[in-house]
């Protein structure tokens, strides 16, 4: 999953970056409105963490940018501006949640999972596809009752496909959501292929059904059968 953090305070920005990394996100960072705007227009994010008091203006304006790009991005405002009026404005402009500063990372994690559950329309902290259960917050994947060992990257790929179940995910979208846009496209497509191969090997070595369907020339999908 891919996140954008818009925060001008360097220490908080870094700790959010670390925290999201631990949660299996690939994260872009923006320090002001201008940077954030460029990224929101050119990239697609699952999650936006948004500070309101930015050096070049009000972060609330970015919610309009986001709306214009038609993205289905879960948004949490992080702000020291705790006034009721600001909260209401943020929610009215389409933010999913509002967390006043200072906050604990534990609380942020809970809020992130809640907004993502809403975005992906799931009830619990796991997605079930056939015999496969993919937990969203603990890097755990079960096949029936067997715990499967996957690398971080493999887990991220399976989680992203599972969250988008019954939809074809293109290889480019997948690589952008796993690695961001920092990787050269041709490289990252090779990465995707080889990780998918390794995932499949792990299923087949234990005689489990391969949950990933290849959509030839396009990408991959997981189907809830």
Quote the least distance from Cβ 122 to Ca ion, whole Å. 32
Q: Provide, rounded to whole angstroms, the least separation between the CB of residue 101 and Ca ion.
A: 9
Q: Is 146 in the site for Ca ion (CB under 5 A)?
A: no
Among 21, 38, 41, 53, interactor with Ca ion by CB under 5 A: 53
Other beta carbons within 10 Å of 207: 6
In angstroms, the CA 165 to CA 85 distance is 38
| Structure tokens given for 173 | 């979208």
Q: Which of 48/196 has CB closer to Ca ion? A: 48
- Closer CB to Ca ion, 40 or 162, in the complex: 40
- Is there binding between residue 51 and Ca ion (CB under 5 A)? yes
Q: For residues 51 and 13, is the Cβ–Cβ distance under 8 A?
A: no
The answer to the question of residue 8 lying near Ca ion (CB under 5 A) is: yes
Report how far residue 140's alpha carbon sits from residue 132's, in angstroms, rounded to the nearest whole number.
Answer: 11
The stretch among 28-36, 52-60, 87-95, 198-206 that binds Ca ion (CB under 5 A) is: 52-60
189 preceded by a cis bond (ω within 30 of 0)? no
Q: Does 56 bind Ca ion (CB under 5 A)?
A: no
User: Which is it for strands 169-170 and 146-148: parallel, antiparallel or unpaired?
Assistant: unpaired
CB of 153 to Ca ion, least distance (A): 33
Q: Residue 102 or 217: which CB sits closer to Ca ion? A: 102
Sheet harboring 47-51: ordered strands across?
Answer: 26-30, 2-6, 47-51, 74-79, 97-100
- Chain residues binding Ca ion by CB under 5 A are 8, 51, 53
């Amino acid at each position: 999953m891919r996140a954008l953090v818009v925060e001008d305070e360097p220490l908080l920005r870094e700790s959010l970056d670390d925290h999201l990394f631990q949660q299996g996100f690939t994260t872009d960072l923006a320090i002001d409105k201008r940077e954030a705007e460029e990224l929101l227009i050119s990239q697609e994010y699952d999650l936006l963490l948004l500070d309101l008091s930015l050096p070049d203006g009000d972060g609330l304006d970015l919610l309009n940018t986001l709306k214009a790009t038609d993205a289905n991005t879960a948004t949490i405002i992080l702000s020291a501006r705790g006034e009721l009026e600001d909260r209401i404005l943020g929610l009215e402009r389409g933010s999913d949640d509002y967390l006043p500063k200072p906050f604990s990372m534990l609380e942020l994690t809970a809020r992130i999972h809640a907004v993502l559950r809403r975005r992906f329309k799931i009830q619990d902290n796991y997605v079930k596809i056939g015999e496969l259960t993919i937990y969203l917050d603990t890097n755990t994947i079960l096949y029936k009752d067997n715990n499967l060992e996957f690398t971080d990257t493999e887990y991220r790929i399976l989680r992203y496909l599972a969250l988008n179940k019954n939809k074809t995910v293109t290889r480019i979208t997948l690589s952008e959501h796993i690695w961001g846009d920092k990787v050269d496209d041709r490289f990252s497509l090779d990465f995707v292929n080889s990780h998918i191969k390794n995932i499949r090997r792990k299923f087949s070595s234990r005689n489990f059904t391969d949950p990933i369907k290849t959509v030839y020339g396009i990408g991959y999908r997981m189907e809830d059968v």
